[in-house]
Chains A and B, each alone.
Chain A
Amino acid sequence: MLIKKRTGIEIPSSEITPESVYLSRRHFMRGAALSTAAVAAGGLLAACASPEAEPGSSATDVSAVQTAMPGKVSATADELGDPLNSFEEITTYNNYYEFSTNKEAVAPLSKNFPTAPWQVEVGGLVNKPKTYGLEDLMAFEQEERIYRLRCVEAWSMVIPWLGFPLSKLLNEVEPTSAAKYVRFETVQDRDNMPGLNSSLFPWPYVEGLRLDEAMNDLAILSTGLYGEALLPQNGAPIRLVVPWKYGFKSIKSIVKIDLVDTMPESLWMKTAANEYGFYATVNPNVDHPRWSQATERRIGEFGRRETLLFNGYGEFVAHLYDDPDFDTTQSVRGQ
C-alpha cells in the first residue's frame, strides 16, 4: 500500500546507504566534531567524549540500530548528504505547547492522546466542502519526503516524513476564486492537553498559508514518519509540514482547514507578531528580534552550521516571493 515516491527533491542514489554504514558515519561525524573541538581547546575536556560519540564505533551497536530505525525509510540522508535524525531524537524533543512548554515533557504527556476517530473539516471558500475521516486522508497516495526542519529557536533536524501534498486535498474541495489564504486549526482537547489550561496563549493554535504557498508541492500534510504512523508528540494523526518556513508554521493535529479571503491571524501573531510573523520563511539574514538566525544547531551535532536561505529549498519556493511589492523582511516577521 505504501508507495515510496519522491517528487521535487531527488536524493542521489549514492546517498542511499545501508543502515550500518549510515550509523557508523553518523557516529563518526559526532566524534569528529567533538575531537576537533577538543584539539582546538588544547584537549581540555577531551575525556568528555562519551563512548557513544567515539569515532569509528561501528554498527555493532545494536541498540542504536533499533532506535534509529523503527520502520523503513528509502534513504539515510537528505539531498544535501546530511544524515537523518534518529527516531528517538524526533520523538522525544518536541515543541507542542498544548501539552507542555518543556520539549522533553511532551512525549510522556501525550502518550495516551486519542487520535482516532478523527475528522478534519475542510470548508470556507470552496465549492465542495468536505469532512475527511482518517481513512479518507490515508487514501491519498502516501509519499516519503525527507525534509530539514528548522525551528525558530535555531535548532534543526532532518526528518523522513510520510504524507501527501496539501495541494491534492485542496484540489478536491475546489477553492473558489475568492479564496486567497488557507487557515488551519489544531484540536482543543481539554481533557487530554494539559497545556490548554495555560492562559499565556490565545488558544486554539491557528496557522495559515497564502494559497499559492499552500499549493506548492513541498507543502505536505503528514501522517507518519520513519515509515510509521505519527506519534501524538509529532502532531498525530495529521499535521502540516512546510519545510522552507520556521517550524511553528507546521501546525499539528489539524481538525479544521478553511479557505479564506483575508490573512488569518495565527496564534503566534496574536502572541508576538513582531517575532513570529505570518510568512516566517527561514532567512539567515533577518534575525529574530532577540536572537540570531544566521546559524543553527543540528540536533545530534556539536558546533553550528550556517542556516540556508529558505532552509535550502529556494529553488522550489523563492519564486513565491518574487513580487517586487513584497517586503522581504515581512517574509520573516509578518506584518
Chain B
Amino acid sequence: MIPILTPPNLSVVSEPVAKESKQMSAATGRETAVSTPKRWDRKHTARLLTWLTHIGALVPLAVLLVEYFTNNLGVDPVREILFHTGTTALVLLAMSLAVTPVTIAFGWKQVIPLRRPLGLYAFFYVCLHLLTFVWLDYGLDLAFIIDGIVEQPFVLVGTAAFLLLIPLAITSTKGWQKRLGKRWKTLHKLSYLIIILALIHFIWLVKNVYIEPGIYVGIVALLFLARWNPVKQKLLRWQRQIRSRLK
C-alpha cells in the first residue's frame, strides 16, 4: 500500500543539495533586493538549525557516557547500550527521512540541509550499536559473533541495514553527488529500504509486546504517506491555502 520506491515525480525528496542550495540562494537573492535584515534572519535560522542538529544528535551520546560513568546503566549495561544506540539510530534515520515530508507539509525548506548530518549521525550511532554488539556483548569472539548474526534473523536484517548505509554515508559528500549525477538520487532511495529493514529488525527482536516498534512503524508509515502523490498534492494545496489566508 505504501510505495517504497516513490515514483520519480515525487522528488522534492532527494534533490541534490547543490541544486537546492542554488535555489535557496536565488531565493535569498531576491529577498536581498527587498530588505537586508531578512537575509540576516535566514542565515541565522540556517546556522541555528545546523547547530541544534549537531547538539541534538550528540545529546544521546552524552547521556550514554554520563550514565556509564555514574554507573546508571542498570544491571545489564550491555543491553541498555544496545537499546540506547539502536533507538537513537532509528530516530535519526526517521528524522532524515522526515525532511522531505516536512517541506511538503509545512514548506520549511530550511530543513533540507539538515538531511545529510542527520543521516550521518544515524550511521554513527549504528556503528556504535554494532561495536557494542561485537565487542561488549560478544566479547570479540568470532565464532560467537558469526552464530549471533547468522542464527538470529533480526540481527541478519540489522546487518543488512548497516551494510546498505555504508555506501550512502560514503557518497553523502557534494563531490560524490556531482560525480554520480542522476544516479545519486536513485542510490539514496536505498534509505527507504534501510528504515524498513531497521523496523523489521526491531519488531523481530521484541517478545510479544509490539507497542514501541508499532509507534515507529506508524510514524514511518506517515512519512511515506506524505510522499505519496495524492497525499502530497493535498498537503501542498492546504499549505498554499493557509499561506494565502495568512497574507
Binding site for B on A (CB under 8 A): 33, 36-37, 40-41, 45, 48, 50, 52, 88-89, 92-93, 101, 103-104, 153, 155, 198, 200-201, 271-272, 287, 290-292, 294-295, 297, 299-300, 302-304
- Is B152 within 8 A of A291, CB to CB? yes
- Is A153 within 8 A of B68, CB to CB? no
- Is B68 within 8 A of A50, CB to CB? yes
**B136, B140, B205, B209: the one within 8 Å of A200 (CB):** B209
In the bound complex, what is the Cα–Cα distance between A299 and B147 (angstroms)? Answer: 20
- Is A297 within 8 A of B205, CB to CB? no
- Is A304 within 8 A of B135, CB to CB? no
- Is A299 within 8 A of B76, CB to CB? yes
Residues from chain A with a CB closer than 8 A to the CB of B138 are 295, 303-304
- Is A304 within 8 A of B139, CB to CB? yes
Once A291-B151, A292-B147 are accepted as A-B contacts, the answer to whether A299 and B141 lie under 8 Å apart by CB is no
In the bound complex, what is the Cα–Cα distance between A303 and B136 (angstroms)? Answer: 6
In the bound complex, what is the Cα–Cα distance between A272 and B208 (angstroms)? Answer: 8
In the bound complex, what is the Cα–Cα distance between A78 and B79 (angstroms)? Answer: 24
Once A37-B139, A48-B68 are accepted as A-B contacts, the answer to whether A291 and B74 lie under 8 Å apart by CB is no
Chain A interface, DSSP helix/strand/loop, else mixed: loop
Assuming A37-B135, A290-B153, A304-B144, what are 13 further A-B pairs, CB within 8 angstroms?
Answer: A155-B79, A200-B208, A201-B208, A272-B208, A290-B154, A291-B152, A292-B147, A294-B147, A295-B138, A297-B79, A299-B75, A303-B137, A304-B141
Over the window 46-77 of chain B, the binary record of Cβ atoms lying under 8 Å from chain A Cβ atoms (1 yes, 0 no) is 00000000000000000000001101001110
- Shortest distance from the beta carbon of A63 to any chain B beta carbon, whole Å: 11
**B74, B153, B208, B209: the one within 8 Å of A92 (CB):** B74
Residues from chain B with a CB closer than 8 A to the CB of A88 are 75
- Is A290 within 8 A of B205, CB to CB? yes
In the bound complex, what is the Cα–Cα distance between A37 and B144 (angstroms)? Answer: 14
Residues from chain A with a CB closer than 8 A to the CB of B208 are 200-201, 271-272
Q: List 21 A-B contacts (CB under 8 A).
A: A37-B135, A93-B74, A101-B207, A103-B76, A153-B207, A201-B208, A290-B153, A290-B204, A291-B151, A291-B152, A295-B147, A295-B148, A297-B76, A297-B78, A297-B79, A299-B75, A299-B76, A302-B78, A302-B136, A303-B136, A304-B138
Once A52-B71, A153-B207 are accepted as A-B contacts, the answer to whether A290 and B152 lie under 8 Å apart by CB is yes
Interface size on B, as a range, is: 20 to 34
Residues from chain A with a CB closer than 8 A to the CB of B204 are 290
In the bound complex, what is the Cα–Cα distance between A60 and B156 (angstroms)? Answer: 45
- Is B151 within 8 A of A297, CB to CB? no
Residues from chain B with a CB closer than 8 A to the CB of A37 are 135-136, 139-140
- Shortest distance from the beta carbon of A40 to any chain B beta carbon, whole Å: 5
Residues from chain B with a CB closer than 8 A to the CB of A287 are 151
- Is B71 within 8 A of A50, CB to CB? yes
- Is B137 within 8 A of A291, CB to CB? no
**B139, B205, B209: the one within 8 Å of A101 (CB):** B209
- Shortest distance from the beta carbon of B208 to any chain A beta carbon, whole Å: 6
Residues from chain A with a CB closer than 8 A to the CB of B147 are 292, 294-295
Residues from chain A with a CB closer than 8 A to the CB of B137 are 297, 302-304
- Is B135 within 8 A of A292, CB to CB? no
Once A101-B209, A291-B205 are accepted as A-B contacts, the answer to whether A40 and B148 lie under 8 Å apart by CB is no
- Shortest distance from the beta carbon of A149 to any chain B beta carbon, whole Å: 13
- Is A41 within 8 A of B151, CB to CB? no
In the bound complex, what is the Cα–Cα distance between A299 and B76 (angstroms)? Answer: 6
- Is A50 within 8 A of B69, CB to CB? yes
**Highest count of chain A CB atoms <10 Å: which of B136, B137, B139, B205:** B139
In the bound complex, what is the Cα–Cα distance between A70 and B153 (angstroms)? Answer: 41
Residues from chain A with a CB closer than 8 A to the CB of B135 are 37, 41, 45
